[in-house]
Amino acid sequence: MIATQHVTMRLNAGGHTVTILEDVTLDIPEKQTLAIVGPSGSGKSTLLGLIAGLDRPTSGTIWLNGVEITELGEKAMARLRLANVGYIFQSFHLIPTLTALENVSIPLELASDSHARTRAGELLRAVGLGHRISHYPVQLSGGEQQRVAVARAFACRPPILLADEPTGNLDSSTGQQVIELIMALHRDAGTTLVLVTHDQHLAASMERVITLRDGRVASDQTASLLQRIPDHQL
């Protein structure tokens, strides 16, 4: 479903080359739930963005649902992402001038779904926001905005769901509600779920946990072997 082979990411900063990721090789099978953890600056969000095709690695290859995406052009990558990937951002990334219904409708309309508004309404009701369909992001709480973002990510029924710190801007109670929602939708849709998190309990609830340190894979544990994750690894 998802594979990275010897992926390295380097950036130029002030005349110096900074290595963000170094020789990362992963194989994530279909329907697996996986958490990427590690200290701040270890390359977690960069890796997730590369998997989504939001950026290109300096070297190495990435496969997404059977397609090698590293050399795809922007239009081809956008089409592939629309059909295969739902992405949940920590900061929601809702369009402020659009209602909740319109925000969720966007990917469906891009996919030429003639029932985009109907499907968007169904999704918003599924995440408990049927009464907030006509509200704009500024009129919604942080938890409600993230619920809209979750509904949008699932709109086209993607086989892959990527989430970057989906509870990072939420209080613990609201964050737990959002995670329960994501997990319920994951189970119903049979998606492959990959998320970046600093939340120890959330990471431990995944089938597999990969720890990054200094841009490299420091550990790769499955649920059967997973013990308490040391705080310094998160």
In the CATH hierarchy, which fold is given to the domain comprising 2-233? Answer: Rossmann fold (3.40.50)
Query: What tokens does 116 get?
Result: 């985009």
Q: SS3 for 9? A: strand
CA atoms within 13 A on the CB side of 15: 0
Confidence of residue 229 (pLDDT cuts 50, 70, 90): low
Range in 50-64, 96-110, 137-151, 173-187 the model is least confident about: 173-187
What pLDDT is stored for residue 135 in this prediction?
97
Query: What tokens does 102 get?
Result: 């319109």
What pLDDT is stored for residue 199 in this prediction?
85
What pLDDT is stored for residue 111 in this prediction?
92
Residue recorded with tokens 């995440």: 127
Residue 41, number of CB atoms within 10 A of its CB = 13
**Residue 154 identity:** F
Q: SS3 for 69? A: coil
Burial bucket for residue 114 (CB in 10 Å: 0-12, 13-18, 19+): exposed
Gap between the Cα atoms of 43 and 234, Å rounded: 12
Confidence of residue 116 (pLDDT cuts 50, 70, 90): very high
